[in-house]
A and B are shown apart, each in its own frame.
Chain A
């Protein structure tokens, strides 16, 4: 028997294949940088802004003026402020160094819309944040550069990838990490981006409306967690994913938790199957909305309903379906199937285990605005 055959005898995962939650060790010398921390100050509050005119679904062209009005309405609905400047000033001041955590994993088809990022940067500059102190960031350079944010944002704004080149640890903080072994992998650490620990004072989190084959949906929590740490793909193997507990664990690590001031979910375009990527246009849809809040759990709870309702309308299995007969590695091409047993419970887990927000739908205060 050759050694490859040895390995294929079910190997190490059999040793580790119990259902006990993974044992996490969080290493961080940072404490909360300000109070109140996420999900405050607007725990359980979501401003949901919709506009039929924001995108032309036929050509996916986005109307910048409508985006501007949606963002303005949303931030004012969230904060209760009468003017944009007052609303943004509740979160940001001229001395801040602000990171905008975009989501480009499905780029160029689906990503944090450059029109939304343009509106955000203009409002930051409007309250005195210097363009040079604004960082649009994502983990991987190829995904980030495919969007061409530089064509939309004020001159001086940084557009940076944390992991350059892909696989390098140098963009991550060696002193701030979560250590865990999921499947007996060699490298058991996931380190937080240096940009977050060493440079930024505040973060705006800009996820999309997307189904995710492992975590069920990928919203605020997932974008924050898997988008700010290294070596996270190891949490999935074969049909098993550890996103249930890993997402909340990562999102709660300081200083990430304290620095994330605002979540702006870009739901102008969405993906209801095959996420986080968007290889199949037929699985894209157009919710034409934004959701704003400081509570990532509350927004993600609404995202869960949004994707579940869409899948139901299309005749796709529920995100909560744990049957094993539908598992298929090429499931992104067939909405009846899935690659992993999804873990949409990661949102409730983050709420109950780490207090990252309000999961109870009846306790979420929704401000709906039509533009």
Chain B
């Protein structure tokens, strides 16, 4: 339930050491590697959502400066980590603004949405797969055993997902995507390759988190959420505009965000 997941990140006082056992996360960001040959033209995103989801209850620390401190705070909030942020002076200001916004987001009785399960085996290969799935906005739940509620349960090293195939996580991620079918995905994001979303739902409402990993606003974004919602309300710290071109029918709800800063929360409701 989100009520439990609405953990606020906090500042690690200057000079203080992180608590024992805290895992340091990467600075969230986009890496544009235009001159590097790759299997995809998509920019590379350093995101930590999969690490946080993989280790519930773990203590995390970000060591980031400037605006990255705000982004780190938003990422930790999105995935329900009470992370510590170690940053510089400008970072404290940026994080402070983000924290004020995060405090204003009301706690609701919501559950993270997943379209399939991934069986945790603790390996690096599975970790890399989770990383790619997050990056591709494929919503998963990490399980100890297959969940019969899902049509797709992924356990690497089985006949369905052989070990040889698993050496190429990108291949496996695309295979999972095709098994689910894009039309059946609970969340789709169009118009940007640098925004990662998370979706939570309750009986009559849903909440979309949008984290923009670029260091500049995304101009024009289309979001599709499975389920019929008649109203969308955007909450954002700065540099965001209310959703436009709202449309909904029995299967899905769609809206556009004209401008997205580092982070936004969109609450969807049925009335």
Q: Give chain A's interface residues, CB within 8 Å of chain B.
A: 3-4, 6-16, 165, 167-171, 174-175, 179, 181, 183-189, 231, 237
Contacts and interface: CB of A to CB of B under 8 A. Distances in A.
B174 interface: yes
A179 B222 CA distance: 14
B173 interface: yes
A169 B169 contact: no
- B39, B44, B177, B258 pick with most chain A CB within 10 angstroms: B39
Given A186-B189, A237-B41, A167 B177 contact: no
B157 interface: no
Interface in B149-196: 167-171, 173-175, 177-178, 182, 189-193
A189 B171 contact: no
B128 to A, nearest CB: 5
Interface string B31-70: 0000011111110100000000000000000000000000
Contacts of B190: 169, 187-189
B221 A169 contact: yes
Contact of B219 (A12, A168, A188): A168
Nearest to A236: B41
A195 to B, nearest CB: 15
A167 B191 CA distance: 7
Contacts of B247: 174-175
A7 B40 contact: yes
Contacts of A170: 219-220, 256, 258
A210 to B, nearest CB: 24
B234 interface: no
B173 A12 contact: yes
A16 B39 CA distance: 12
Contact of B220 (A7, A9, A16, A167): A167
Contact of A11 (B137, B170, B182, B221): B170
Q: Is the interface of A mostly helix, strand, loop or mixed?
A: loop
Contact of A12 (B36, B39, B128): B39
B222 A184 contact: no
Given A167-B219, A187-B190, A3 B131 contact: yes
B136 interface: yes
Question: What are the 8 closest A-B residue pairs judged by CB atoms, nearest first?
Answer: A11-B39, A169-B220, A168-B220, A12-B174, A169-B191, A168-B219, A11-B170, A170-B220
A13 B37 CA distance: 14
Nearest to A166: B219
A169 B136 CA distance: 19
B75 interface: no
B29 to A, nearest CB: 15
Contacts of A181: 182
Given A15-B178, A168-B219, A9 B167 contact: yes
Nearest to B173: A12
A10 B167 CA distance: 11
A174 B40 contact: no
Given A8-B38, A169-B222, A174-B247, A14 B171 contact: yes
Q: Is the interface of B mostly helix, strand, loop or mixed?
A: mixed
A12 B40 contact: yes
A189 B254 CA distance: 13
B256 A6 contact: no
Contacts of B171: 9-12, 14-15
A160 B178 CA distance: 39
A365 B42 CA distance: 47
A179 B128 CA distance: 28
- A165, A167, A169 pick with most chain B CB within 10 angstroms: A169
A14 B40 CA distance: 12
B182 A6 contact: no
Contacts of A183: 40
Interface string B188-232: 011111000000000000000000000000011110000000000
- B37, B167, B170, B219 pick with most chain A CB within 10 angstroms: B170
Contacts of A9: 39, 167-168, 170-171
A15 B174 CA distance: 8
Contacts of A3: 128, 131, 169
B250 interface: no
Contacts of B258: 170
Nearest to B246: A174
A165 B174 contact: no
A175 B224 CA distance: 12
Contacts of B137: 186
22 contacts: A3-B169, A4-B44, A6-B128, A6-B168, A6-B169, A7-B170, A10-B168, A10-B171, A11-B40, A12-B40, A12-B173, A16-B174, A165-B219, A167-B191, A168-B191, A169-B222, A171-B220, A174-B245, A186-B136, A187-B191, A187-B192, A237-B41
A167 B171 CA distance: 27
Nearest to A171: B220
A188 B222 contact: no
Nearest to A12: B174
A15 B175 CA distance: 7
A10 B189 contact: no
Given A170-B258, A174-B245, A6 B220 contact: no
- A165, A174, A187, A237 pick with most chain B CB within 10 angstroms: A174
Nearest to B182: A188
A174 B256 contact: yes
A167 B221 CA distance: 10
Contacts of B220: 167-171
A170 B167 CA distance: 39
A8 B174 contact: no
Nearest to A6: B169
Given A7-B40, A167-B219, A184-B174, 9 more contacts: A6-B128, A6-B168, A7-B39, A8-B39, A14-B171, A15-B171, A170-B256, A186-B136, A188-B182
